[in-house]
Amino acid sequence: MEILGIIAFVLALLISVMLHELGHFLTARRFGMWVSEFFVGFGRRIWSITRGETEYGIKAIPAGGYCRIEGMTPTDEMPQGELNRAFISAPSWKKLIVLGAGSTAHFILGFLLIFSIFFAVGYTTITPVISEVQSGSVAASAGFKPGDEIISINGEAVTQWSKDAVKIGQSKGAVMNFVLKRGGEKISIDVAPAYNNDAKRYMLGVITALGTERDGFIKSTSESAKAGWVLTKESAKSLVTLPSKVPQLFRETFLHEKRDPNGLVGVVGAARVSGQAVGSDKLNNNERLATFILLVASLNIFVGLFNLLPILPLDGGHMAVAIADEVRALYARLRKKPRPAPIDVNVLTPITGVVVVLLGILTVLLVVADIINPVSLNL
């Protein structure tokens, strides 16, 4: 099962990358830009087919994919009569949409994955069905029995037990009315919760069973948006603190310190954690699937944000260049001068090279750490 989880994660990652590239592809085509290639993988070409002006195909190294939009820089050569279809010739707002479409695809996919948990897969939660009545409790004295389902409290229907049960703790010992469903019949019981010194709150003395719950479309949409926003904020915090976590990662890799589950994790580590989730004996089938989906959703949201960082060669870096072009154009208009030529990102190649080297070093460090001192979530 763990191997299946790792394979599923790799496939999910590959699909995510291709959807990222599909976002660029569709928006570029929509704006009339010339997209010459759309490939899965890198390296040597294994198979390809040309449809229209675009070559689609598969390459030997299954480590993502790419789409090639012609005319990304002023020095790129375009065929005669096609200069207006170059990326660099498009208005800045179109450039921003095309560049941001990749991250948008990650965010949409992340939301849909979270939505699938709430709407289809389901999540484990406490239910209003009583699994145990504690001996000597007020519930036992009042006649509560295992198997009873609490369907209303003080005349209000129980809709989500994790929230409805709070009313018991806040009762201050006042008599409450409970309507129970027992064997197809409804039973009404009035009882005053007793104060528990250990828990420091009022309790009935019942333990309710765990179950799988699924929400309707509207609630699933709302809860998915909330969960997605939480993951987005956490991903943003992780990006802000990323540089400060590199020294810790170095110590974990080479000085054998215990790996922090909340620290930096690479693709290899994420795949292993996914394998742990899918193969865990501590989780039921729904929990395994939901955990796996949540991991993939979290990864998509993080990658979407990471890709928007304003540094080349990331899409966010190209977006920053496009915005800088517009600022320069605005300044020129205010001075009643012609629009300046677009910024040539080739001039920024040294900076891009430094970023690529740093990201490469971090990637290698993460791979080594994930192999010799892997993260474990004790699932």
6 and 108 in one domain? yes
- Say if residue 58's pLDDT is above 70: yes
Q: What is the pLDDT of residues 326-345, one digit of tens each?
A: 999 899 989 988 988 888 88
Tokens of 82: 């096609």
260 and 325 in one domain? yes
* Per-residue confidence (pLDDT) for residue 27, from 0 to 100: 97
255 and 175 in one domain? no
Average pLDDT over all residues of the chain: 89
Q: Distances from the Cα of 278 to the Cαs of 15, 197, 260, 301, in angstroms? A: 19, 40, 21, 21
Q: Tell me which of 229-243, 252-266, 286-300 is least confident.
A: 252-266
Amino acid present at 244:
S
Q: Tell me which of 41-45, 241-245, 251-255, 278-282 is least confident.
A: 278-282
- Domain CATH number, residue 199: 2.30.42.10
* Per-residue confidence (pLDDT) for residue 22, from 0 to 100: 94
Question: Backbone phi, then psi, for 156, in 5-degree steps?
Answer: -105, 130
Tokens of 247: 């020294």
294 domain residue, yes or no? yes
Q: What is the pLDDT of residues 170-185, one digit of tens each?
A: 999 999 999 999 988 9
Range of the domain at 148: 124-213
Q: What is the pLDDT of residues 186-230, one digit of tens each?
A: 999 999 999 988 888 999 999 999 998 899 999 999 999 999 999
168 domain residue, yes or no? yes
Residue 22: count of CB within 10 angstroms of its CB: 17
Domain boundary at 213, 234, 254, which?
213
187 domain residue, yes or no? yes
117 and 128 in one domain? no
194 and 275 in one domain? no
92 and 184 in one domain? no
Residues 6+ apart with CB under 8 A from 359: none
296 and 183 in one domain? no
How far is residue 3's CA from residue 295's CA, in Å, rounded to a whole number? 16
